[in-house]
Amino acid sequence: MRDLGTGFGYLLKGQRWVAGHGRWFGFGLLPGLITLVLYVGALIGLAYGADDFVAWATPFADDWSEAWLAVFRGFLVFLVFALGLLLAVITFTAVTLLIGQPFYESLSEQVDKDKSPDGTAPESGLPLLRELWISARDSLRIVVRAAAWAVLLFALGFIPFLGQTVVPAIGFGVTGFFLTQELTSVALQRRRVEVREQLVMMRSRRLLIWGFGVPLAVSFLIPFVAVFLMPGAVAGATLMVRDLLGEDGDEGEDEGSGTAGDTALAGPDVQHPGAR
């Protein structure tokens, strides 16, 4: 259970870091603002079109009594919008990271330089276009996985009682996991850690990942909050990666999250950048 608190601590540390570096906070807001405008427009369109979509998809209910028809289709409209909102929360970070790759890459590098004893940051050594392609490809993979989970949870939501209690809790856990993977990928891609290796690392420390990602997922449900938390979330995810890979030395051990045992959990293919 200690990992839950440690994960939440990284989220707070990231917010404190950007609060102390105001220029980077403003710099990191731009991609989130662009994505927010796009998502708000999509959700408004969904809200206006959900009635017509549900009516088109349920022609068998046209002859029902007006009261039952209103209840049935009203519930389906709610579920359709809820699914759209869940997909928006799950994919917001991936789309924002894709749009803001150069912004968040620079922010993450600055965090690494600030925390590194020699003031340097790991570099992938890849051309910019290659980095953008890898980021887009990996983001698409994450979105596909997240969408599959969203559809499954949407279907499970029809189960009485469980659909209104257990399923939403699972949804926050799934969302928090994918949010954290998306955010840590900024720092991990610069270290040439592939998506498969990232998943090994995330799954080996699920409580840590949930401690970071679930509070973030809950806060993202509040309008506009995601935009303002994104810069700090990227900074916090970078700090967590440094400790997971043992790059902070004794400092990571003091916090219980950067030991050699943690590095081993990342899998045999994950190498420390200094070994390249």
Task: Quick: pLDDT tens for 146-198.
Answer: 778 878 887 887 777 777 788 888 888 888 898 898 889 888 888 888 888 88
Percent of the chain with pLDDT over 90: 12
Handedness of CA 241, 108, 209, 149 (dihedral sign): negative
Q: How many domains does the chain have?
A: 1
Domain, as residue range, for 220: 2-275
Question: Which of 217, 184, 215 shows the shortest CA–CA distance to 201?
Answer: 184
Distance CA 100, CA 155 (A): 33
Across 201-223, average pLDDT: 86
Distance CA 32, CA 35 (A): 5
Distance CA 36, CA 267 (A): 36
For 116-120, 121-125, 214-218, which range has the lowest pLDDT when averaged over its residues?
A: 121-125
Question: Which of 80, 74, 40 shows the shortest CA–CA distance to 224?
Answer: 40
Question: Mean pLDDT of all residues in the chain?
Answer: 79
235 pLDDT above the threshold of 70: yes
CB contact set of 134 (below 8 Å; sequence gap of 6+): 126, 189
User: What stretch of H or E contains 5?
Assistant: helix 2-19
CB atoms closer than 10 angstroms to residue 149: 18
